[in-house]
Structure 1
Amino acid sequence: MRALGVVVLVAVMLPAGVAYADNAPTTVAGLIGRYIDLSHQAEKVNEQLLKAQEQAQSLRQQAATADAAFRAADAKWQQAVRQADQLVADRKQRADLLKAIAPANSVSALLTSASADDINTASIVAGFAHDADDAVKAATAQTLAQTSQAREAAEKEQAAASKAAAAATAIENKVGAQRADLDQRVTAVRAALNALPPDEVSLMQSGATAPNVMLPPGTVGAALRFAIAQLGKPYEWGGNGPIAYDCSGLVQQAYRAAGVELPRVAADQALVGQQVSRADVKAGDLIYFYQPVQHVAMAVDHNQAVQAATFGEPIKISPIDAIGPITVIRRLVTN
């Protein structure tokens, strides 16, 4: 958001929740200062709100992923339990069958059989029985070990899902408080705007028509073409188009239209791309303002930038150096 008119302004930053009712400004400079101050505060809360919403959404996705993993692991555990139960049942059935058709060992066969053939047969059958029993015991032990591992994995995923869901709920509660805070601030900004003289309100509308500029080719040109096409549309906190935008929503959608993805909030966007100096600013560069970063504009050329400024001001083109104190300038692409 840029300074209005030629009045020298000193914005008095108030703690959250402090109202202006008891010391309402009586001068045009004071009214403008209050409007700018409230707008800055609301924009900061808006960025915090968007970031918290992103975090909550990410945690919800993590919780859903972990819950799906838990269900898959739990299904494997249930299957392993059934297999183990079946192996135990098969082992018992095999043992009962072998007992019914042959002596348990060759000694018993020797005592109860009359011929050498019977003794040999009994010995072979007993050997098979013991071998089969050993194999079943090994398979059962392996299945039970797999069962334990599957259950441990299921419990781990279930714990991860619960933890992520709890964290998401905590952030969502924070989002609710931030939303209420933002709503109060927006109401204050609207009231401050309504208190401004009509000539000052008219001044804020300047820059909302497309300038006669030569757009560069390639990705930068595509992003700028989109941004300039939004001139005159209203500002909305949290707006991400197509009817209204906030500052970071505008540049995100502009570069998305050119095939480049950006984070949603200005502070995260300010970490993307190559840093350039003010002296090297070119069309398409993203200019970030205030500390911590809470506003962004896209350079149209070396001197001007398109921005979604604040409530009451349409998307417009402003002098770069009049928007606010520059924190960092980033170049995403070179063509």
Structure 2
Amino acid sequence: MRKLCATCAMVAVTALVSTGVAQADDPPTTVAGLIGRYVDLSRQAEKVNEQLLKAQEKAQGLREQAATADAAFQAADKSWKQAQQQADGVVADRRHRAELLRSLVPANSVAAVLNSSSADAFTSASIAVGLAHDADDAVAAASAQALAQTSKAREEAQKQQDAASKAAAAATAIEAQVGNQRSDLQKRVSQVRAALDALPADEVAMLQSGVTAPNVMTPPGAVGVALRFAIAQLGKPYEWGGTGPIAYDCSGLVQAAYRAAGIALPRVAADQAQVGVQVSRADVKAGDLIYFYQPVQHVAIALDHNQAVQAATFGEPIKVSPIDAIGPITVIRRVVTN
């Protein structure tokens, strides 16, 4: 009967894969092969999920920079327009003043002397005209300088706006591309998972084990708080990009556990792997963060020297696993050292 169920599962996965995006995948012919394919695709998807999280962080940061650059350009553009209006106003005022002065003081000095009641009157009028022109020239020069400065500032702000906009657009495109890759892998994982679900429960029991709270003593302090939080999540589903409280991915679980203890960690496993002090496998103790694969794409929280809590992979619950059975260890970090 088990052979029959396994055969049905192989037929199911063949049909599923043939209709999906992963048509090049040859379906495994054994239960062990099917589980191996499931784990392999899940690891690929987890790696791409980490890449997507990084791409999303970068794209969001660049979009915020683009918004800031756009606001700066709008402010510079407003200042430039105000300076331009002021310069136009000065020109119009000069024209009006010139017309007024021409009507008050004859341009021909001989005529001015003949028409003036005295030489002093002519001199006073001439000085008034000169001072008026000098003042007008000073205002015009200041206005022109202000216009030049704001024009230059506007041009620079526009360059920064254009550069920030292009960088944000490029990052968003990469974000979409990686998102499509993750969606593709998620479909492939789901297809194999559907075939696994067609098997008897005892055939795939290893994928569901470890959801019972272990009988371990958690240490005091922040480490104990983080571990108790993680243990309380046992049995909850894995979700790519999940940060709780209903579902988590591996780094989302670690971040949430230590956040409960008042310690902030980066979102992505590769970034988390830079925090704290490095310890050896021989020195692992409760609360240490164990990072797997190269480059880093998975993380688990050590319960003790031999086992760890992890959000393992898509389709599996959060569980406790033997540390050395999870995968190749890249680095181990201790966040709390006291």
TM-score by length of 2: 0.84
Deviations 1:177-197, CA, capped at 9 Å, x for gaps:
213322322223413532554
Distance in 1 between the 2:75 and 2:224 partners?
48
In 2 relative to 1, CA 204–235 (structure 1 residues): closer, same or farther, beyond 3 Å? Answer: same
Aligned to 1:151: 154
What number of residue pairs does the alignment pair up? 317
Give the one of 240, 243, 258 matched to 1:240: 243
Q: Residues 89-108 of structure 1: matches in 2 within 5 Å?
A: 89-103=92-106
8 Å CA contact 1:106, 1:126 repeated in 2: no
Look up the match of 1:227. Answer: 230
What does 1:22-37 correspond to in 2, within 5 Å?
24-26=28-30, 28-37=31-40
* 1:333 to 1:112, Cα distance in 2 relative to 1, 3 A: farther
In the TM superposition, 1:106-255 aligns within 5 A as 109-194=112-197, 196-255=199-258
Q: Report the CA distance shift for 1:317/1:48 in structure 2 as closer, same or farther (over 3 A).
A: same
Post-superposition CA distance 1:260-295 (Å, at most 9, x none): 222222222222222221122222211000112111
Shift of 1:106: 6.6
Is the aligned partner of 1:304 residue 2:307? yes
- Distance in 2 of aligned mates of 1:171 and 1:132: 58
**Which residues of structure 1 form unaligned runs of 5+?**
1-15
- The residue that corresponds to 1:20 in the other structure is 26
- Matched residues in 1 for 2:165 and 2:302: separation? 45
Give the direction of change, closer, same or farther, for the CA distance of 1:204–1:180 in structure 2 (3 Å limit): closer
2:284 corresponds to 1:281: yes
Q: Deviations over 1:198-232 (max 9, x none)?
A: 22433433321222333333332222222111111
**Given that residues 73 and 153 in structure 1 are in contact (C-alpha distance below 8 angstroms), is that contact kept between their aligned partners in structure 2?**
no
Distance 1:78 1:157, change over 3 A: farther
The structural deviation recorded for 1:176 is: 4.2
SS in 2 for 1:245: coil
Q: C-alpha root-mean-square deviation of aligned residues, in Å? A: 2.5
C-alpha displacement at 1:233, in angstroms?
0.7
For the residues of structure 2 that align with 1:304 and 1:106, how far apart are their CA atoms?
A: 106
Q: CA deviation at 1:111?
A: 4.9
**Structure 1's 332 and 111: CA in aligned 2 closer, same or farther, altered over 3 A?**
farther
* AA aligned opposite 1:135: A
| TM-score (norm. length: structure 1) | 0.85
Contact persistence 1:95–1:129 (CA under 8 A): no
Q: Percent identity?
A: 77
Distance (Å, rounded) in 1 between the aligned partners of 2:292 and 2:313 = 14
Worse overlay, 260-269 or 230-239: 260-269
- Contact 2:250–2:299 at 8 Å: present in 1 too? yes
